[in-house]
Amino acid sequence: MSSPASHFINGEWIDAGIEALESFESYSGELLWSGQHAGESEVDAAMQAAKSAWPAWSGLDVHRRIDILKKYQNHLRDHQLQISELIARENGKPLWEAKTEAAALIGKVDATINSWNVRCTDQHMEVGTAQGRTRQQSLGVCVVLGPFNLPAHLANGQIVPALLAGNTIVFKPSEVCPAVGAYLVDIFSKCLPKGVINLVQGDVRSGKALLAHEDVAAVFFTGSYRGGAAIHKHFAGRPEIMLALEMGGNNPLVVWEAKDLEAAALLMVQSAFITAGQRCVCARRLIIPEGEEGDAYIDALLAMMKRIRVGDPMSDEEPFMSGVIHEQASEQVLSSQAALIADGAKVLALCERIDEAHPTLLSPGLLDVTGLEVEDEEIFGPLLQVYRVPDFQSAINEANNTAYGLSAGLISDNKKLYDQFIAQIRAGIVNWNRQITGASGNMPFGGIGQSGNHRAAAWHAVDFCHYTCASIEADTLSLGALPTGIQEHGDE
């Protein structure tokens, strides 16, 4: 893909920076995009442009901003196939899945407008002899730091509500998916006044320059706990900065008293291995009973795993999953697996490279780690860990045995077990007899603990994009009754 330039600042594409930045197709390794890492001068120019554009943009009637976002939505429809193909090539997910992401971009506009109309409408009321009114006010310049795993959808899911609320944007995509970020901003640029959205490319150095800028009003981040914690620490003692941090999870999936083994196995596969295990909501820990019931679940899962097609994301013979984002990521997954095996994990299915010519392709792996002291960390790839427990309460205890709290799920025919599960589980997203990677844009999305800072996205994203101003108003000035302690007349 050839983009107009590296960065989009104040309505213009520019090439400048501190160092060359390149992006390669995940599957083939071929060069896809080239540009530059933003330095402090590019970051400052983008922030200044957003700051200058903010008064006029926030001053527009919200219905006018909605009209502009609907035009953006139409442009997304016109470019849906191109977006899908670019995501598949740069990110490496199968084209069928990339198409679902491109469709989600379009749906996000309507979902955001509907959420705003439900959650953010102005209120009018009588307050004594005056009128009470609430208004939704924008925050200012919002910095959006995007992830690589859903490089268009997750960034779009923060940018659209921020724009609707009247904020202006400086967006830094993941440095491993700059092409998708550039394409998305190019579509925005066809609809928005100059300066309302700005793009800077780069790695952590560019991100740090953004966070250090004096005009930051809000930071919306999706990524690792380590990255989110660093941002939180950076703004310690600055409560005026709005932070919305989504940081992944070490997510549990419990299977208990499930009769349809094939259906259960399919939900396990969809929960653990979609996007090659690179979704923040993917199941990392499978918790099942000891004994024959648990053995049956393992046998069914292994049989379903053998049916998974892994391959070229653009192949006509569509795979269920393709590779991880890059070779380094595959090495990290294999290294984590090796460490678990060295500590005593039992191999049920080895995660391994399928094709040395395409080192990002990994087969799905399954390890039994029952009884081991396993580090509470998110292995971001197609590797699922099995825990065998004696009873259902132990299953819940094991599920909660994590500092994270993003997603969790129960596969079971027993509603009483689900009632117990939902009452005790600590997670922001809890599904029953559905894959835990399934989420609705018409519901909140977010976690607790090390998974986030209680700023749910999706349907609730509008909440962290504005503040509510409460006013008591009277259109005439009158003396009225004097308060206690004020004399009727002054001293003569």
d(CA 411, CA 268): 9
**Could you tell me which residues are beta bridge partners of residue 251?**
283
- Between strands 365-368 and 346-349, the pairing is antiparallel
Q: Which of 97, 175, 246, 378 is catalytic?
A: 246
What are the tokens at 383? 């590797």
Angstrom CA distances, 197 to 49, 138, 169, 373, stand at 9, 15, 5, 47
**Which one, of 142, 123, 172, lies nearest residue 51 by Cα?**
142
d(CA 288, CA 149): 28
Residue 246 is among the residues annotated as catalytic for this protein: yes
Instruction: List, as one string, the DSSP characters of 93-145.
Output: --HHHHHHHHHHHHHHHHHHHHHHHHHS---EEEETTEEEEEEEEE-SEEEEE
Q: Which of 280, 282, 351, 465 is catalytic?
A: 280
- Cβ partners under 8 Å of residue 136, min gap 6: 62, 120, 122, 165, 466, 467, 468, 469
Residue 282 is among the residues annotated as catalytic for this protein: no
8 A C-beta contact, residue 108 and residue 157: yes
What are the tokens at 191? 């609809």
d(CA 272, CA 369): 16
**Which one, of 221, 279, 220, 271, lies nearest residue 248 by Cα?**
279
Instruction: Enter the DSSP assignment of 483.
Output: P
Angstrom CA distances, 156 to 63, 145, 299, 458, stand at 20, 11, 40, 10
Is 167 strand, coil or helix? Answer: coil
- The catalytic residues are 246, 280
